Amino acid sequence: TRRARDSVQTSLHVPYGAGVREQLDIYLPNDSSGTYPLLVYIHGGYWQCLSKDEAGFAAPPLVSRGVAVVAVGYNIAPAGHMDAMVQQVRRSLTFLAERYTSTRGIYLCGHSAGAHLAAMVLSTDWTEYGITPNIKGAVLVSGVYDLEPILHTYVNDALSMTWDVAQRNSPMLCLAPPAPAVATCQVLVAVAQHDSPEFRRQSQEYSLALRAAGWSVSLLDIAGVDHFDIIEKLSEESYILTQV
């Protein structure tokens, strides 16, 4: 992230709401026309650690190719509640859609818990927000798409999710055909060879469910990586996910 902040044009800690963590770090290419694509990165950390401040590692190789990269901050647990996190990420997208009106489209990228939040963005009813972001693609990396199994693990100690909260915030249970505004959205579900069996199962089942619901989706099973370096290697220009 330090390398990104030193090497590219940045707008840091841009507020999209009034909350302390409702901020964006924006890494911009040298394109004064503002017609670049916008990659919105949502960090992982089991909804209870990490922040946007560690999320700039993917920016340099993408910005050098003319892509703007935005790292989204949101309230992590225990201060943050699952419903609120989902709403925050959705609001960050409306803010970006209003601020950057001439981009070549918004592309979501999330890792682990961030992939869950990105998937929840795809299920948004944008009529509630008064603006529909031009989401052209989503890269969901080693994500969680069904929260119910987490209720029975230590991960939920900080989240304090009830069954109802887990149900309404599970992308697998919020599936609907793509709205006209995202009809051309391409979804890539990526999973690591050395992810746990549960991460692999959820990625495979969610990609099948998306396709059955009418989405354009592909599954990318990346060899030789685990749950962490599958995303950390985005700092490398030659890495398959960076290239995609």
Tens digit of each residue's pLDDT (9 = 90 or more) over 155-195: 999 999 999 999 999 999 999 999 888 889 999 999 999 99
Which pLDDT score is estimated for 9?
86
Residue 213: Cβ within 10 Å count: 12
Report the candidate in 137, 64, 111 with the shortest Cα–Cα distance to residue 232: 111
What tokens were used for 208?
A: 């099948």
**pLDDT tens, residue by residue, 74-99:** 999 999 999 999 999 999 999 999 99
Q: What are phi and psi of 79, to 5 degrees?
A: -65, -35
Which pLDDT score is estimated for 182?
86
* pLDDT of 8 higher than 90: no
Catalytic residue check, 195: yes
Which pLDDT score is estimated for 7?
64
* Residue 189 belongs to domain spanning: 1-242
CA distance 180 to 182: 5
The neighbouring-strand residues paired with 135 are: 106
Positive or negative: CA dihedral 75, 220, 217, 104: positive
Catalytic residue among 195, 203, 207, 235: 195
Instruction: Map tokens 């990228």 to a residue.
Output: 109
> What distance lies between CA 212 and its chain's CA centroid?
22
CA distance 174 to 1: 33
For residue 235, the SS3 value is helix
pTM over 0.85: yes
For residue 216, the SS3 value is strand
> Residue 88: which CATH number?
3.40.50.1820
CA distance 39 to 225: 23
* pLDDT of 217 higher than 80: yes
Report the candidate in 152, 171, 161, 196 with the shortest Cα–Cα distance to residue 42: 171
**pLDDT tens, residue by residue, 17-56:** 999 999 999 999 988 788 999 999 999 999 999 999 999 9
Preceding omega of 133 cis (within 30 degrees of 0): no
Catalytic residue check, 238: no
In total, how many domains does the chain have?
1
Catalytic residue among 25, 43, 112, 116: 112
Which pLDDT score is estimated for 6?
65
